[in-house]
């Protein structure tokens, strides 16, 4: 295997990896569909990242920059992917892409609907070349519907799906629900599930298919009973801050030292345990608090009781008391806390990797954890076009001279 600009070739997956032998073409940008490729690559698929010459994927410049010119987001989320540069808008670039499709299993993309069809490389075009092809198509609103042509990012998906209106204090404005990229990552996970399902069907039928996924759908599907509750009772859930709609106490509480902890009493049994831990066992039998329904009627009062108790103790004391009493409780960690947490360390949730361009880098470990064939971090995000010779030359037989030519932007092509 030829060496790219990083100074070393990417290491192939183990033959025993779950997805060994599956070739994925990632022609998407930013996070949503590319994260699907990351998941597949973590578990052994050969993922080939196809980027526009010269400019590459905008994700390279998204997030915290590094001395190698690519961002930390790129090094992490483009791991286990080889990099090839092709301008899919040109006839030669599209032809070479079709040649790759003929030898691949999966394509992942997140262009606006109709874009690939305009270039002659839509799903029906590609299926004519490779009937076994599985194609993931992620867009803001999906491939159909009155909004299918509208642009969108994760923030818009959070808003449109109904999530953003739930985030924030009851008397305050809606806020970012945790991460501005959550819908992207959720869509990547749903996309990976869809691809695995489609590959399973292909085993039986020999025929591929495409997966149609809107960013907003990935979030909307996670909003528990919000749809059936509205359909049945006309209930419109509003912002509740740290509280939860159907159980109490189930919130965040400040300790004596100013740090915060989370307590989750999801049943009357858990409430009884917490009452015992707080030294007030009578609360578990009082008609005002004994049932979830009763506690919900007195939500502020119940939260006040718990908050008053937590406020007298340090974080460590609250955690120890709840642990001893069997009450679900945990700290509100910052990333600094996480780096010092012994459980994160014991589980190997972060991996230190020696990147050939910037040295030591810490990345989140792959999920989920398989007992016999675990995921493997083989290399971080590659330099742009690092594997042109290997893929275009070795796989397609393109000459070194043409590889150098197609790595440059075509005349008249907008960058």
Report, in this order, helix, strand and coil percent for the chain, each rounded to 5.
Answer: 40, 15, 45
Q: What is the DSSP string of 196-229?
A: HHHHHHHHHHS---EEEEEHHHHHHTTSTTHHHH
The burial class, CB within 10 Å (0-12 / 13-18 / 19+), for 150 is middle
CA dist 344 → 18, 76, 386 (Å): 25, 18, 33
Residue 12 among the catalytic residues: no
Q: 54: how many CB neighbours lie within 10 A of its CB?
A: 14
Q: Which of 1, 21, 63 is nearest to 381 (CA)?
A: 63
Half-sphere exposure of 284 (CA within 13 A, CB side): 16
- Alpha-carbon distance of 365 to 79, in angstroms, equals 11
Q: Where are the alpha helices (DSSP H) in 59-213?
A: 72-77, 91-101, 115-118, 123-129, 154-161, 182-205
Q: Which of 10, 6, 9, 90 is nearest to 46 (CA)?
A: 10
Q: Which of 42, 70, 105, 184 is catalytic?
A: 184
Q: Which of 182, 194, 259 is nearest to 222 (CA)?
A: 182
- Alpha-carbon distance of 244 to 127, in angstroms, equals 47
Catalytically active residues, by annotation: 184
């Amino acid at each position: 295997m030829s060496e790219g600009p990083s100074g070393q070739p990417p290491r192939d997956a183990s033959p025993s990896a779950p997805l060994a032998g599956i070739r994925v073409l990632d022609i998407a940008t930013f996070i949503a569909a590319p994260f699907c490729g990351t998941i597949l690559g973590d578990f052994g698929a050969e993922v080939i990242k196809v980027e526009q010459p010269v400019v590459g994927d905008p994700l390279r410049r998204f997030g915290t920059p590094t001395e190698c010119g690519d961002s930390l987001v790129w090094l992490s989320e483009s791991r286990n992917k080889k990099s090839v540069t092709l301008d899919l808008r040109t006839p030669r670039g599209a032809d070479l892409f079709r040649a790759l499709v003929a030898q691949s299993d999966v394509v992942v993309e997140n262009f606006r609907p109709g874009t690939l069809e305009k270039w002659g490389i839509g799903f029906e075009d590609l299926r004519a070349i490779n009937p076994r092809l599985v194609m993931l198509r992620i867009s803001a609103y999906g491939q159909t519907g009155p909004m299918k042509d509208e642009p969108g990012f994760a923030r818009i998906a959070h808003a449109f799906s109904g999530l953003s209106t739930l985030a924030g204090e009851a008397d305050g404005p809606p806020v970012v629900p945790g991460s501005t990229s959550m819908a992207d990552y959720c869509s990547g996970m749903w996309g990976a599930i869809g691809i695995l399902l489609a590959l399973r069907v292909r085993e039986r039928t020999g025929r591929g298919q495409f997966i149609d996924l809107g960013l907003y759908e990935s979030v909307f599907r996670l909003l528990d009973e919000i749809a059936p509750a509205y359909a049945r009772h006309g209930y419109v859930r509003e912002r509740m801050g740290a509280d939860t709609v159907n159980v109490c106490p189930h919130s965040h509480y400040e300790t004596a030292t100013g740090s915060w902890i989370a307590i989750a009493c999801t049943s009357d049994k858990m409430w009884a345990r917490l009452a015992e831990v707080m030294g007030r066992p009578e609360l578990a039998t009082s008609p005002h608090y004994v049932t979830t329904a009763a506690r919900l009627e007195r939500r502020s009062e119940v939260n006040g009781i718990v908050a008053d108790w937590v406020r007298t103790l340090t974080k460590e004391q609250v955690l120890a008391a709840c642990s001893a009493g069997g009450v679900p409780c945990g700290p509100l960690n910052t990333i600094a806390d996480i780096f010092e947490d012994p459980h994160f360390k014991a589980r190997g949730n972060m991996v230190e990797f020696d990147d050939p361009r910037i040295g030591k880098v810490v990345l989140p470990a792959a999920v989920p954890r398989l007992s016999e064939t675990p995921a493997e971090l083989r290399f971080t995000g590659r330099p742009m076009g690092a594997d042109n010779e290997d893929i275009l030359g070795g796989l397609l037989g393109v000459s070194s001279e043409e590889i150098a030519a197609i790595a440059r932007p075509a005349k008249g092509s907008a960058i």
